[in-house]
Amino acid sequence: MRDFVVLILFMLSMTTFAQSTDEGRISIQAIMPDGVIPVEASNNLETRMQRMLVSNGFGDNGYVERFVLTAKVDVTSKDVVPSTPARISEKMDVTFFVGDVVENKLYASCTMSLQGIGTNENKALISAFSRLNPNQKIFAEMLEKAKAKIVDYYTNHCSEEINKARTMASVGNYDEAISRMLAVPNVCSDCYDKCQNAATVFYQQKIDAFGLQQLNMARNAWMKNQSEEGAYEVAQYLDKISPYSSCFAEADKLRSEVSSKLRADEQRAWEMQVKEYEDRQNYKRSIVKACRDVGVAWANNQPKSIVKNIIRSWW
């Protein structure tokens, strides 16, 4: 029965993932290394690159900062414009790079020449970046070249990706495994389906392992203290068990056992905890959202310094 439920949830997840705009596109994140240009100008360029990506049909699904767009700014000339106040005129070459920071591979690059004027270097750079055209042919061609290589990578390395994620899951790194699988865009249709399926399996393994851990702790707590206090501690553990966990039935059995042994006044407090638990479980009953939340949380917790150091090696 549980396998049937998981299958139905997986089928629903395929529909849900496919319907999401950003999650259906190849995800490329705009990111600038630290200390290359002034912070304000760097943030401005990062924002403009993200807009350029969106304009060219790329999204940011939030799962993994695997594919990135970055830029290297080379100022070729700097002049002081005689005015009040004095202004700085800068000419520069901005070279864009698209690559894979997981495999440390550069996929494509292109260079654009820009010019900007401002009261200081920061403002001159921002002025130059404002002239970036998201529809410029050279930029679009670079992204198409990168897209072809990304699709080719997943087409030829899908089994390898799944095996790497399976190894992660086997040592308890479920979140990283799920995040890696959810990074695959649905333009790589065959690999996408396989990886979505794998992500669901890893999520099931995660909640099964965690659920069993919480159940054992709840059992130990009840054996040590079969009182209202003990029941409260049991509830804290059982509340964390997913309704889709393989040990959920055993958790319900323990909950019933605790309930049958409490006195009337303790019973009311216990029932309130059970009601709160059921309300929380109703909120959790979307394995699709739960899976996505795991992937996003893992990706967001990764130190960006590692990614930025890899990017510098492309220069």
- Is residue 283 pLDDT above 90, yes or no? no
Mean pLDDT of 185-196: 87
Mean pLDDT of 222-230: 89
pLDDT of residue 118: 93
Confidence at 276, pLDDT banded by 50, 70, 90 = low
pLDDT of residue 267: 66
Q: Which residue has better confidence, 144 or 9?
A: 144
In percent, how much of the chain has pLDDT > 90?
Answer: 46
This prediction has a pTM of 0.68
Q: Are 264 and 270 in contact (CB under 8 A)?
A: no
Which residues, other chains included, contact 142 with Cβ-Cβ below 8 Å and sequence gap of 6+?
A: 96, 98, 108, 109, 110
Q: Are 309 and 34 in contact (CB under 8 A)?
A: no
HEC sequence for 11-41: HHHHHHHHHCHHHHCCECEECCCCCCCCHHH
- Is residue 8 pLDDT above 70, yes or no? no
pLDDT of residue 315: 60
Determine the Cα–Cα distance for residues 103 and 45; give it in Å rounded to an integer: 25
Confidence at 281, pLDDT banded by 50, 70, 90 = low
pLDDT of residue 229: 87
Number of C-alpha atoms within 13 angstroms, CB side, residue 150?
28
> Please, what are the domains in the chain?
25-157+304-312 (3.30.160)
Determine the Cα–Cα distance for residues 87 and 183; give it in Å rounded to an integer: 45
Amino acid letter, residue 186: N
Confidence at 110, pLDDT banded by 50, 70, 90 = very high
In percent, how much of the chain has pLDDT > 70?
Answer: 77
Confidence at 92, pLDDT banded by 50, 70, 90 = very high
Which residues sit opposite 99 in a β-bridge? 68, 106
Q: Are 173 and 209 in contact (CB under 8 A)?
A: no
Confidence at 265, pLDDT banded by 50, 70, 90 = low
Q: Are 184 and 147 in contact (CB under 8 A)?
A: no
- Is residue 10 pLDDT above 50, yes or no? no
Exposure string for 164-200, b = 16+ CB within 10 A, e = fewer: bbeebbeeebbbbbbbbbbbbbbebeebbebbbebbb
pLDDT of residue 9: 41
Which phi and psi angles does 197 have, rounded to 5°? -65, -45
pLDDT in tens, 29-87: 898 888 889 999 999 999 999 999 989 988 765 554 678 899 999 999 998 878 778 89
